[in-house]
């Protein structure tokens, strides 16, 4: 795995995780063991006033604290989660409370299901518990480092085993409860398939292929003849062709062309399409024409889980309503975020009124005693109202926008430049404040800089263009301080150096030297470094030209970035 890919994997998966939890509405992390807080492990008696959320029956909190969630549970889970993905820096004002709210909701939904299991007297299969426990303990014993770590934390392996057994038992109870609520049968699956047969066929019919293309029919015929003799791979190798791996789905080509591939009796299929001749090596075809055929499709498990999750959500909602079981979030920050995120569009006006009373005084000024994380929930609500097509919200949109502006300024005054999202909104609301623009571009640059340092500009191209253009405008502006202009030039110099474009970097370095000769940089050393980079690149390009090679992709990308950004 390359440095770029490894880096992207760590950062991108966090946001994939966030989307996944939001989509499944909190019942998402079934593969993870149940986390117990240090307090619950040590048997410390807690009060409901300490909890940030709890299960309720007929509006009254359940007395058993196993159905409560405490602050340290969310914090511990949040910390462990980020550690798994290399501790990415999330936005303090919007992303951190958003993620923590999702974690809390996830935990509360698990508490609801655990309560259901108790009411319905659902237990875990003891044999499965022992099997999973033995597997876990055997793995621990194989890893001496992990074993010693567990002994330090728990005192002994036997104490850890006791805690782990409780976790596994709870996990299996939840899984069993979910299965019972969903109540999925083969008959139901067949009915659902028949109901959505056309949609399923369209989505899950696919072919794994390799293909090469030709512009002339003679080239095609030559390749086909060779492939018939030696096989697709050897024929492509002999003709110095690089086949493209592709997953062909319905809707890629006209229906009659796709039929030739999906119904192919030979692994070799040639097709003329839009002045290009395609030769496909059909490796595997997956269909969904009947339910039994679909069960063999690799996409069946995905479809099954979606159906099961929807059945669970619908049935569990009915059970909760019938038995008047719900949860309550008592922490004001998480409660505000939860309301902003999940309230139905038709009820947004009610939440807007609540937020107004909570965040503003009688003179329409933002209250100063409200945590900035809580006030940030207003931004989510405002975005939803302003984007809504519900005509009943039209009369409040102008007020919402004005109040949002006040909230943004209030949060900025509390935390200054620590939130990129707040800086972005400040820049939009106060375009004349160039120092705000500089803070925003600097924050955005700090976020994308790690990608540039490992050659990953492609992954952050849109942000790169925004930063490049922003610093370019500030560097040339006449209505900003020399310090901001100088810092902007320095960042443009540094950015181009990271993009492996020393010539452009040198141009910005010279502008910086002319603007502020006493800037905090050793100009002589910096120029020498750039000259060496230029010389090295010219030598490589000369060698490449001599050998008949073409410039590398990275060089081309760098040049493209420079020209587009300067435009």
Q: How far is CA 102 from CA 244, 311, 419, 436, in A?
A: 40, 21, 20, 31
pLDDT at 56: 98
Mutual angle of helices 482-498 and 523-546, in 10-degree steps: 30
DSSP one-letter string for 338-385? HHHHHS-GGGHHHHHHHHHHHHB-TTSPBPTTS-HHHHHHHHHHHHHH
Q: Is the dihedral of CA 455, 458, 464, 468 positive or negative?
A: positive
Burial class (CB in 10 A: 0-12, 13-18, 19+), 35: middle
pLDDT at 540: 82
- Residue 228 neighbours by CB under 8 Å, 6+ apart: 268
pLDDT at 256: 86
Q: How far is CA 11 from CA 5, 28, 258, in A?
A: 10, 20, 37
- From 184, 188, 196, select the one nearest 313 (Cα to Cα): 184
3-state SS assignment for residue 285: strand
Tokens 């990953």 correspond to: 456
- pTM here is 0.80
Phi, psi dihedral angles at 286 (to 5 degrees): -115, 130
- The neighbour count for residue 534, using CB atoms within 10 Å, is 15
Q: How far is CA 484 from CA 114, 141, 435, 490, in A?
A: 57, 58, 7, 10
Averages of pLDDT over each 10 residues, the chain, 567 residues: 40 41 35 37 80 98 97 95 86 94 95 97 96 95 93 94 95 96 97 97 95 94 94 95 94 87 90 92 95 96 96 96 98 97 94 98 96 97 95 96 98 95 96 96 94 88 96 96 98 96 97 97 97 91 62 43 43
pLDDT at 544: 65
**Alpha carbon 384 to its chain's center:** 20
- Residue 3 neighbours by CB under 8 Å, 6+ apart: 454, 455
How far apart are the C-alpha atoms of 508 and 482, rounded to whole Å?
A: 15
How far apart are the C-alpha atoms of 288 and 207, rounded to whole Å?
A: 12
For residue 519, give the DSSP letter. Answer: S
B/e letters for 7-21, b = 16+ CB within 10 Å, e = fewer, are bbeebeebeebbeeb
pLDDT at 297: 96
pLDDT at 84: 86
How far apart are the C-alpha atoms of 565 and 469, rounded to whole Å?
A: 6
3-state SS assignment for residue 272: strand
Q: How far is CA 139 from CA 45, 149, 292, in A?
A: 33, 14, 38
Q: Could you tell me if 445 and 467 are in contact, meaning their C-beta atoms sit under 8 angstroms apart? A: yes
pLDDT at 542: 76
Query: Would you list the domain boundaries of the chain?
Result: 3-182, 206-286, 340-538
How far apart are the C-alpha atoms of 291 and 200, rounded to whole Å?
A: 10
- Let me know how many helices (H) and strands (E) the chain has, helices first: 25, 8
Q: Could you tell me if 97 and 338 are in contact, meaning their C-beta atoms sit under 8 angstroms apart? A: no
How far apart are the C-alpha atoms of 223 and 232, rounded to whole Å?
A: 9
* 237: enclosing H helix or E strand: helix 232-238
pLDDT at 556: 42
């Amino acid at each position: 795995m390359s440095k770029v890919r490894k880096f992207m994997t760590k950062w991108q998966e966090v946001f994939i995780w966030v989307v996944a939890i939001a989509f499944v509405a909190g019942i998402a992390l079934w593969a993870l063991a149940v986390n117990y807080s240090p307090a619950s492990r040590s048997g410390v008696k807690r009060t409901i006033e300490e909890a940030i959320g709890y299960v309720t029956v007929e509006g009254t909190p359940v007395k058993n604290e196993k159905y409560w969630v405490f602050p340290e549970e969310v914090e511990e889970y949040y910390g462990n989660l980020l550690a798994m993905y290399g501790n990415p820096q999330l936005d303090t004002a919007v992303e951190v409370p958003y993620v923590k709210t999702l974690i809390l909701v996830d935990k509360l939904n698990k508490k609801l299901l655990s309560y259901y299991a108790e009411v319905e007297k659902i237990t875990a299969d003891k044999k499965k518990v022992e099997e999973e426990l033995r597997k876990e303990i055997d793995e621990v014993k194989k890893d001496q480092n992990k074993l010693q770590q567990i002994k330090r934390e728990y005192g002994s392996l036997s104490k850890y085993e006791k805690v782990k057994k409780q976790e596994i038992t709870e996990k299996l109870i939840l899984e069993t409860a979910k299965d019972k609520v969903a109540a999925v049968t083969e008959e139901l699956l067949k009915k659902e398939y028949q109901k959505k047969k056309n949609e399923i066929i369209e989505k899950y019919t696919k072919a794994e292929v390799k293909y090469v293309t030709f512009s002339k029919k003679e080239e095609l015929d030559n390749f086909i003849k060779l492939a018939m003799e030696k096989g697709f791979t050897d024929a492509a190798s002999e003709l110095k062709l690089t086949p493209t791996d592709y997953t062909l789905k319905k809707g890629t080509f006209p229906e009659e062309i796709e039929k030739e591939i999906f119904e192919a009796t030979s692994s070799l299929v040639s097709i003329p399409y839009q002045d290009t001749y395609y030769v496909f090596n059909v490796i595997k075809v997956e269909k969904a024409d009947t339910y039994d055929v679909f069960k063999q499709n690799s996409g069946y498990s995905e479809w099954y889980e979606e159906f099961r999750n929807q059945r669970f959500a619908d049935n569990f909602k009915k059970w909760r309503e019938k038995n008047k079981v719900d949860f309550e979030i008592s922490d004001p920050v998480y409660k505000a975020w939860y309301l902003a995120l999940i309230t139905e569009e038709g009820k947004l006006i009610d939440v807007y009124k609540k937020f107004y009373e909570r965040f503003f005084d009688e003179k329409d000024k933002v209250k100063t005693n409200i945590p900035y994380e809580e006030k940030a929930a207003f931004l989510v609500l405002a975005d939803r109202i302003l984007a809504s097509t519900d005509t009943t919200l039209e009369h409040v949109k102008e007020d919402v926008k004005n109040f949002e502006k006040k909230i943004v300024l209030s949060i900025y005054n509390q935390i200054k430049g620590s939130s990129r999202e707040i800086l972005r909104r400040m820049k939009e609301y106060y375009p004349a404040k160039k120092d705000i623009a500089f803070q925003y571009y600097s924050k955005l640059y700090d976020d994308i800089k790690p990608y540039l340092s490992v050659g990953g500009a492609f992954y952050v191209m849109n942000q790169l263009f925004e930063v490049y253009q922003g610093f370019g405008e500030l560097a040339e502006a006449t209505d900003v301080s020399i310090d901001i202009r100088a810092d902007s030039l320095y960042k443009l110099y540094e950015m181009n150096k990271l993009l492996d474009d020393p010539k452009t970097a040198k141009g910005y370095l010279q502008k910086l030297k002319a603007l502020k000769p006493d800037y905090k940089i050793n100009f002589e050393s910096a120029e020498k470094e750039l000259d060496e980079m230029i010389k090295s690149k010219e030598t490589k390009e000369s060698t490449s030209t001599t050998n008949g090679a073409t410039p590398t992709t990275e060089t081309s990308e760098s040049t493209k970035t420079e020209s587009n950004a300067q435009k």
